[in-house]
């Protein structure tokens, strides 16, 4: 079932080229969808339109069946956005920030929920600190906490880990996965391909306002990934044994390295078999290195097309 449906969505800003060109996309209930793309691709524009912060120029968007324009109240009640830019009142405490947010969403105070969210985001010991006293990474966590106070069906995270250190980023990934497990649908934008690789169920790649690809992460990585195994030989090998004269196996010019390509619809690799063949032919091996193309390779390939 789809919780969000986007049909023929376009956006033109004044004096600007088209920020979004005919976007069609469905977000499934409960999935984590990662939207990737270079600076200015249209990621923030797309999620701001869905969240009702930016008006579309054309097309239709529904959230839980509610049109974001004609039924904006019902549509908006289902979503929370963690924005790319940090906007917080610096002079109130972390706890107050969350409580006021709850009011802003038109919901009654919920002390247990506030406590739970503060603890989940490791902000409990900061609850009485003023926002101005927090570090950048902590402020980013307060933004997420704020969004969760709406108990949203769909949580949008625009660059949730921008400017966050590696350790905290990993913590946030764990936390975002936990929110997902609780049943929320999550849509995030990111520049960190590793982030999409780690967490996403599906990945969309957007470039210059066009959605270039929408694919299940595993399928995307499988379909486009190439794997390579390089075996350094202890002695140069002048004649490749017959059993190894295959199209996916090559010998380097210096005769010292065997390269085997596999995956991506080419031959499967049976490592045990290969090792046995080498042994049978008295070929001693040194280092073995395997490489797999990452989402980054796929991404760069696509953007450069
Ligand atoms: N308020 C605005 N007025 C005019 N043009 C805008 C406005 N907001 C965004 N744009 C333009 O729309 C395009 C898409 O911008 P958007 O912020 O959606 O990109 P993004 O993918 O989120 O980029 P980033 O990775 O840098 O956050 C850009 O060309 C940008 O200059
Ligand atoms: Mg952006």
Question: For residue 300, is it within any domain?
Answer: no
Question: For residue 11, is it within any domain?
Answer: yes
d(CA 261, CA 63): 45
Residue of 11, 34, 40 to test ligand 1 pocket, by largest number of atoms within 8 Å of CB: 40
pTM of the model: 0.80
d(CA 174, CA 246): 44
Q: Is the pLDDT of residue 224 over 70?
A: no
217-to-64, 198, 213 alpha-carbon distances in Å? 24, 10, 11
Residues 162 and 285 in one domain: no
pLDDT in tens, 73-92: 999 999 999 988 888 999 99
Question: For residue 301, is it within any domain?
Answer: no
Q: What pLDDT is stored for residue 267 in this prediction?
A: 64
d(CA 186, CA 241): 53
Work out the burial of residue 180: count CB atoms within 10 Å of its CB; fewer than 13 is exposed, 13-18 middle, 19 or more buried.
middle
Work out the burial of residue 110: count CB atoms within 10 Å of its CB; fewer than 13 is exposed, 13-18 middle, 19 or more buried.
middle
Residues 218 and 242 in one domain: no
pLDDT in tens, 101-146: 888 888 888 999 999 999 988 899 999 999 999 998 889 899 999 9
Beta-carbon neighbour count of residue 36 at 10 Å?
A: 27
Whether 160 lines ligand 1, by a CB cut-off of 6 Å, is: no
The domain that holds 232 is classified in CATH as 3.30.70
Ligand 1 atom 5: residue of nearest CA: 13
Angle, vertex CA 178, rays to CA 174 and CA 179, nearest 5: 120
3-class secondary structure, 216: strand
Per DSSP, helices labelled H in 121-216 are: 136-148, 166-181, 193-199
Whether 94 lines ligand 1, by a CB cut-off of 6 Å, is: no
Going by C-beta distance under 8 Å and a sequence separation of 6 or more, which residues neighbour residue 237? 251, 255, 256, 258, 283
The domain that holds 125 is classified in CATH as 3.40.50.300
Mean pLDDT of the chain: 89
Are β-strands 32-36 and 202-207 bridged in parallel, bridged antiparallel, or unpaired?
parallel
Contact 22, 191 (CB under 8 A): no
295-to-5, 162, 268, 300, 301 alpha-carbon distances in Å? 26, 19, 21, 9, 10
- Is the model more confident about 118 or about 165? 118
Residues 24 and 130 in one domain: yes
CA of 54, nearest ligand number: 1
pLDDT in tens, 17-72: 799 999 999 999 999 999 998 889 999 999 999 999 999 999 999 999 999 999 99
H-run or E-run covering 116: helix 111-120
Domain residues for the domain of 278 are 226-294
Residues 270 and 184 in one domain: no
> Which of 222, 249, 284 is the last residue before a domain boundary?
222
Number of domains in the chain: 2
State the closest ligand 1 atom to the C-alpha of 159, by its place in the atom list counted from 1: 27
């Amino acid at each position: 079932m789809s919780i969000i449906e986007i049909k023929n969505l376009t956006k033109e800003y004044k004096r600007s080229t088209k920020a979004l060109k005919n976007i069609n996309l469905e977000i499934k209930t409960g999935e984590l969808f990662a939207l990737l793309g270079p600076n200015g691709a249209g990621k923030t524009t797309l999620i701001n339109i869905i969240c009702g912060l930016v008006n579309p120029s054309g097309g239709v968007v529904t959230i839980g069946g509610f049109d974001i324009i004609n039924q904006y109240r019902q549509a908006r009640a289902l979503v929370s956005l963690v924005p790319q830019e940090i906007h917080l009142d610096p002079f109130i405490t972390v706890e107050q920030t969350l409580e006021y947010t709850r009011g802003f969403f038109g919901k009654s105070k919920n002390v247990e929920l506030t406590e739970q969210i503060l603890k989940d985001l490791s902000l409990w010991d900061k609850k009485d600190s003023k926002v101005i006293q927090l570090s950048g990474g902590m402020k980013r966590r307060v933004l997420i906490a704020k969004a969760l106070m709406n108990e949203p069906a769909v949580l949008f995270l625009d660059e949730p880990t921008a400017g966050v250190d590696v350790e905290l980023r990993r913590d946030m990934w764990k936390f975002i996965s936990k929110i997902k497990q609780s049943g929320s649908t999550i849509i995030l934008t990111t520049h960190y391909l590793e982030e999409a690789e780690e967490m996403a169920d599906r990945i969309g790649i957007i470039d210059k306002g066009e959605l270039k690809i929408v694919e299940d992460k595993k399928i995307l990585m499988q379909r486009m990934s190439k794997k390579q195994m390089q075996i350094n030989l202890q002695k140069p090998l002048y004649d490749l044994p017959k059993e190894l004269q295959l199209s996916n196996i090559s010998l380097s010019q210096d005769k010292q390295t065997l390269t085997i390509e596999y995956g991506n619809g080419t031959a499967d690799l049976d490592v045990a078999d290969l090792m046995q063949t080498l042994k049978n032919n008295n070929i001693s091996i040194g280092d073995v290195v395997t490489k797999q193309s990452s989402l980054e390779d796929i991404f760069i390939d696509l953007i450069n097309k």
